[in-house]
Chain A
């Protein structure tokens, strides 16, 4: 076959050689005829006549190279299809389990492809580079923040060895990189504008916004679907305000790209003109957030107001992200070498103390082809774990189908032996059997794609868990389908090879005689079953750990109400409300909500408890409790009676209430842990919490019990509540505590808001319980998925075990018959079979437990409240496995015990 392939690969060369041979033949023939006295012209014609059609003979010769292979393949496929149809139960079972296995792999891979592997849909993505920086950890020994970066709007994340990594830069750094570099053709910046209220013809909706510098679209090399895109001249303080919208936004809001051009729109109540539409495939630079509207960076000053103006030019505030497009022929390493000194020089000038100078950020360039790394950082590991799991499932499935094929081989043994003895080559028969198994796997793969489509939808739902702007486009594409096809063929070969080799092995002769025998086959079956059991245990153990993690998370004492709370978000500032009226507006709405029958209490805060930010948000910079720097407290500006609404117990003093007005003395409530940590045994009431950078000072008026805000997992959470009225509020999240199902108030809430101001959309209507679950979505996802995987794996392994035991009982019929004839009790017979089941299970466990203990360390970061080697979970998983094994083995055991000894003996 290799030779045939080789011939086929060299077919052009061979074809030419053949032509030359034939030409020579004709020449020689003609010469011979001529020598016999024929005129040359006639001789040539005669030579041709005798030869027959040259073209046809050429064709026939070429066909020899491949046709036999193809026609044999067609023969094998027909034969395979017939034998599949003849064993419907077997085929259906095999195809079904393969479809589940291959489908699960396809689905998870499609996510991996979407998140980790796909390139940005722009021209030449390989020449794009993302700017990052890294520096030593920002805290000094006293846990004080000493870093040239005083504030950040965006993310910094820990790298290896505690270093700090980020992709945010001050605007001045961007200008320096843009204007002074020999290596990039364009350097462009962007800033996530989050959700903005966009009104078209009086209809207000929230839309993801992205602020972009003038070079953004040119740097990404994107051409508009209609109109023109943002250019450097648009990104200027005196330029008329213009906006570019996404293709889908143009369809939803204007009925098409062309209709949108030149239309007026309001972004947070500020008029803009739509000048262009991005192409349909374009999704910005971050696969996690798909902008619907792109605004010139300078317009941020009009939209977000004075609070941002000060950040805009602040050389110590890091907020803008950057990418660059390399000039042709420049490598990333060269660019890094060229820009790092320039950045160092710039950043050094922004440091004001020696402490800051000691750990200056260093520029790091990363490949930008796949866009930003946020999603990758978040999902890379979970997806790797899931991929490992579904890989195991597929391996179990393959082992199982191999086992079924082995069992079936005993039926086909005679057929194969006959074919072999009639002179069919072993290779030929193996090939035929492999064709059958690949056929089976391909069918499995085809159904697997259907299953994958379904599970992708489910997974997208599970991943997003109701996040409104979740935009992960996993889907079938060429890459994914190619993987599925490859996987199917691989599986087919994998599970087909061993049975095929064994069935055609050298010991076929005994098979012709009695159709029994096959000791090696039985051993192979047992090995396969042990492997299945071992792999199932791995999945079972992982599922156990994840379920335990979820239980631990659910049993955490939150310190606030979980049930009967409705949350929803709105932003009056985006609709044009300004200080101080905006506070009154929020306060009045609160009263209206509280008056709704069935609502016990209503209040609001800057964010939900679970999303409450660490220092940052409205009040920025370091926090001081007297002279001490407070590290890691979460600050939540909130409305009157917020603690009562959330049922957070008050331990001392009073909570924030209606007395705390914009012009009354600034006050704060702190949590118990914060009080104990920074004020010790002293009474904190009357002491102060201050924000030096904001020049704000709050008198402590109360102490609340500890609560897990920010994260369910944060045992050491410390909280500071300040009146929302005493800071500059933007959007707020209301909380309504109700009697009974809180979601039934959703419509009344919308109606009340509409009456108050129709231009304000109400978003994120959700119950507190769902909001909390959303924050532990990954754990829920893992627990559910892995439980499903474990059940699937266990079922498959049990089917395998059942098959092996049934076969082994049949083989031992005579022995069992003799024993029973000699008076063996049924119990003894049952035990005889079950003992073997337990032995197999024990062998599987012996292999698996050490592997499980090692592998579980890799998922340590996914666990909460349990250790990776948790003995309880290990024991439980082991018990479930043994239980399942006994169940699977019991049916054959009982059959053995019910057997009539005489019949059994006679059959031999």
Chain B
């Protein structure tokens, strides 16, 4: 269902996983998540910024993350997202699948 390929993503559908991973490290608001992903990937991954918000809605609807109104480090009102227990579980599922997938691709490509 409904995961549209993200142009700037290196792998289709990985945005959800990246968000979950980010939030599993710390609670952040939307822009914070973008910054974090870019910084921690050493600017290799460019998240299509607009696509972040549909993704956040989707994740929240599935009960994997929760947004509450709070204040950013810059003292601005923003929705701060927190990962839920279900979200962590989902993250581990997606992480395993991702590992399997990359391993398989690596095998095919002979890079393993």
Contacts and interface: CB of A to CB of B under 8 A. Distances in A.
A50 B52 CA distance: 12
A25 interface: yes
A52 B61 contact: no
A180 interface: no
A67 B52 CA distance: 18
B57 A65 contact: yes
A319 to B, nearest CB: 70
- Residue of A50, A58, A62, A64 with highest tally of chain B CB at under 10 A: A64
A36 to B, nearest CB: 13
A53 B50 contact: yes
A284 B10 CA distance: 77
A481 B46 CA distance: 55
B76 A61 contact: no
Given A4-B61, A24-B30, A18 B53 contact: yes
- Residue of B52, B53, B58 with highest tally of chain A CB at under 10 A: B53
A61 B1 contact: no
Interface string B34-57: 110000000000001111111011
Given A25-B31, A29-B31, A67-B2, A60 B61 contact: no
Nearest to B69: A17
B17 interface: no
Contacts of A676: none
A51 B72 CA distance: 20
Contacts of A65: 57, 61
B50 A51 contact: yes
B12 interface: no
A57 B54 contact: yes
Given A17-B79, A24-B31, A68-B1, A54 B61 contact: no
A360 B67 CA distance: 74
A738 B69 CA distance: 94
B49 A51 contact: yes
B78 interface: yes
Contacts of B58: 64
B50 A52 contact: yes
A7 B60 CA distance: 10
A28 interface: yes
Nearest to B76: A24
Contacts of A57: 50-51, 53-54
Interface in B49-108: 49-54, 56-58, 61, 63, 72, 74, 76-79
Contact of A21 (B1, B2, B53, B61): B53
- Residue of B50, B54, B58 with highest tally of chain A CB at under 10 A: B50
B84 to A, nearest CB: 13
A3 interface: yes
Nearest to A31: B74
A52 B52 CA distance: 11
Contact of A3 (B34, B63, B76): B63
B57 A18 contact: yes
Nearest to B7: A52
Given A21-B79, A28-B74, A58 B2 contact: no
The binding surface of chain B is classed by DSSP as helix
A842 interface: no
Interface string A1-43: 0011001000000000110111011011100100000000000
Contacts of B77: 20, 24
Contacts of B29: 21, 24
Contacts of A3: 61, 63
A161 interface: no
A56 interface: yes
Contacts of A25: 30-31, 34, 49, 52
B51 A21 contact: no
A52 B63 CA distance: 27
Contacts of A52: 48-51
Nearest to A24: B78
Given A18-B57, A64-B58, A29 B30 contact: no
What class of interface size applies to chain A in its complex with B? 20 to 34
Interface residues of B, number: 25
Contacts of B54: 57, 60-61, 63-64
A17 B29 CA distance: 13
Contacts of B61: 3-4, 7, 64-65
Interface in A800-822: none
A71 B30 CA distance: 28
A67 B54 CA distance: 12
- Residue of A4, A7, A21, A68 with highest tally of chain B CB at under 10 A: A21
Given A21-B29, A21-B30, A67-B2, A61 B74 contact: no
A27 B29 CA distance: 13
B96 to A, nearest CB: 15
B57 A50 contact: no
A25 B31 CA distance: 5
A61 B2 CA distance: 12
A62 B60 CA distance: 12
Contacts of B72: 24, 28
Contacts of B48: 52
Contacts of A60: 51, 53-54
Contact of B53 (A28, A58, A67, A71): A58
Contacts of B53: 18, 21-22, 57-58, 60-61
A72 B2 CA distance: 11
- Residue of A24, A27, A56, A63 with highest tally of chain B CB at under 10 A: A24
A668 B30 CA distance: 103
A72 B78 CA distance: 33
A7 B50 CA distance: 21
Contacts of B1: 68, 71-72
A104 B30 CA distance: 58
A63 B61 CA distance: 11
Interface string B1-41: 11000000000000000000000000001110011000000
A441 to B, nearest CB: 27
B49 A28 contact: no
Nearest to A32: B35
A282 to B, nearest CB: 53
Contacts of B34: 25
A60 B4 CA distance: 11
A54 B57 contact: no
A58 B52 CA distance: 11
Nearest to B2: A68
A17 B77 CA distance: 11
- Residue of B1, B2, B31, B72 with highest tally of chain A CB at under 10 A: B31
B25 to A, nearest CB: 20
Nearest to B79: A21
Contacts of A28: 31, 72, 74, 76
Contacts of B31: 24-25, 28-29
A64 B57 contact: yes
Nearest to A62: B57
A65 B57 CA distance: 7
A29 B49 contact: yes
Nearest to B33: A25
Contacts of A29: 31, 49
A71 B2 CA distance: 10
Contacts of B52: 25
Contacts of A22: 30, 53
7 nearest CB pairs, A to B: A52-B50, A57-B50, A60-B54, A64-B57, A61-B54, A61-B57, A28-B31
27 contacts: A3-B61, A4-B61, A7-B61, A21-B79, A22-B53, A24-B29, A24-B30, A24-B72, A25-B31, A25-B34, A25-B52, A28-B76, A29-B31, A32-B35, A52-B51, A56-B50, A57-B50, A58-B53, A60-B53, A60-B54, A61-B53, A63-B54, A64-B54, A64-B61, A67-B2, A71-B1, A72-B1
Interface of B: 1-2, 29-31, 34-35, 48-54, 56-58, 61, 63, 72, 74, 76-79
Given A28-B72, A61-B53, 12 more contacts: A21-B79, A22-B30, A25-B30, A32-B35, A51-B49, A52-B48, A54-B50, A56-B50, A60-B51, A61-B54, A62-B57, A64-B57
